[in-house]
Homo-oligomer: A and B are copies of this chain.
Amino acid sequence: MKSQHSSAGIDSQAGYTTAALADPLPSWNEGAAKASIINFVKTTTDAASPDYVPPEERIATFDNDGTLWSEQPYYFQFAFAIDQIKARASRHPEWQDNEPFKTMLSSDARAVLTGDQRGLVEVVAATHFGMTTDEFEAEVRKWLASARHPRTDRPYTDMVFQPMLEVLNYLRASDFRTFIVSGGGIEFMRTFAEQTYGIPHQQVIGSSGKLKFEIRDGKPILLKLAEINFIDDFAGKPVSIQHHIGRRPIAAFGNSDGDLQMLQWTTGGDGARFALLVRHTDAIREWQYDREADIGHLDQALDEAKARGWTVVDMKNDWRRVFPFE
């Protein structure tokens, strides 16, 4: 029986595929990082190679924040939460005097993100739960259409990394399936991942709250409860990969210690394996941070990458272009 493996749709990507033969990664400077990606794809897709991998096993997983788009001055989903709190503040006068809302309404909202974990949970509960899935999706879409990043004054979905878009396309043209595996909210990301990254909803994996099915006024709804279902970070990433994909990836892409276990799980299998870390080294075009950062903390994973020969992207030197709008 014909299965649904051959999903990359190469037939309708003919134009892209032809271009890819020339240079599938035009926004990457020549160097070890670019060469490692191309070499991995070539050896795993060449039927004559000892490292050949059949298409159904070509699973590639990507972290989102800091790997596919920027995550500074704070996670973009946190910017959504700030704006939601501000928009609802007039209906909640008590927030002016109560933490964490008081801080969220100040110019120092970031302190909530890097401080007490309980504050963040309260903010998420107030902005992400207690509504239906359809209502939440509508809120996020409305926000994405109007919100602008504080530094670039551009829509958040413009702040994706052009070199990584090229990697996504290159892998799909090579009959890989591309998944997001992120600590971000699964329903938040699904509102834009399809259009922004070409990744359909069912290939987006993230943190989630519990849902409850109900019939309300004769119509079925899914209510977002104020209860954590799953935190998709650190050791949670291999777990969510198993639950959602059911297959160990052969390639994984991240940028922080929260991605370490995903990279360990990916490279722990037999045969050809690929792991990549995006290192934020470009203070001019993007941001520069790693071991000391509170957002996008990259320390232990960087040591392990060096010890094990994983690809570490030096954004400043490896990327000819960072954002599509440059």
Q: Is the CB of A11 within 8 A of B11?
A: yes
A194 nearest CB across to chain B (Å):
6
Contact with B along A246-277 (1 / 0, CB 8 A): 11000000000000010011001000000000
In the assembled complex, the Cα of A87 lies from the Cα of B213 at a distance in Å of 40
Q: Is the CB of A202 within 8 A of B200?
A: no
In the assembled complex, the Cα of A180 lies from the Cα of B24 at a distance in Å of 35
Chain B residues whose C-beta falls within 8 Å of the C-beta of A212 in the assembled complex: 235, 239
Q: Is the CB of B213 within 8 A of A261?
A: yes
A59 nearest CB across to chain B (Å):
8
Known: A1-B169, A2-B9. A222 touches B201 (CB 8 A): no
Q: Is the CB of B242 within 8 A of A200?
A: no
Q: Is the CB of A220 within 8 A of B265?
A: yes
A77 within 8 A of B: no
Known: A213-B265, A220-B264, A261-B213. A203 touches B4 (CB 8 A): yes
A198 within 8 A of B: yes
Chain B residues whose C-beta falls within 8 Å of the C-beta of A220 in the assembled complex: 238, 261, 264-265, 268
Q: Is the CB of B12 within 8 A of A6?
A: yes
Contact with B along A87-126 (1 / 0, CB 8 A): 0000000000000000000000000000000000000000
In the assembled complex, the Cα of A186 lies from the Cα of B240 at a distance in Å of 13
A279 within 8 A of B: no
In the assembled complex, the Cα of A225 lies from the Cα of B200 at a distance in Å of 31
Number of contacting residues on A, CB 8 A?
A: 58
A229 within 8 A of B: yes
Closest to A210 in B: B239
Most buried by B among A178, A194, A220: A220
In the assembled complex, the Cα of A108 lies from the Cα of B213 at a distance in Å of 36
Q: Is the CB of A246 within 8 A of B165?
A: no
A5 within 8 A of B: yes
A243 within 8 A of B: yes
Q: Is the CB of A9 within 8 A of B1?
A: no
Q: Is the CB of A4 within 8 A of B172?
A: yes
In the assembled complex, the Cα of A262 lies from the Cα of B216 at a distance in Å of 15
Q: Is the CB of A199 within 8 A of B7?
A: no
Contact with B along A231-247 (1 / 0, CB 8 A): 00001101100111111
Contact with B along A268-303 (1 / 0, CB 8 A): 100000000000000000000000000000000000
Chain B residues whose C-beta falls within 8 Å of the C-beta of A168 in the assembled complex: 1
A128 within 8 A of B: no
A133 within 8 A of B: yes
Chain B residues whose C-beta falls within 8 Å of the C-beta of A242 in the assembled complex: 133, 211, 222
Chain B residues whose C-beta falls within 8 Å of the C-beta of A239 in the assembled complex: 211-213, 222
Closest to A220 in B: B268
Q: Is the CB of B244 within 8 A of A244?
A: yes
A114 nearest CB across to chain B (Å):
26
In the assembled complex, the Cα of A212 lies from the Cα of B240 at a distance in Å of 10
In the assembled complex, the Cα of A222 lies from the Cα of B264 at a distance in Å of 12
Closest to A168 in B: B1
- Subset of 6 A-B contacts with CB under 8 Å: A4-B198, A7-B9, A202-B247, A212-B235, A220-B264, A220-B268
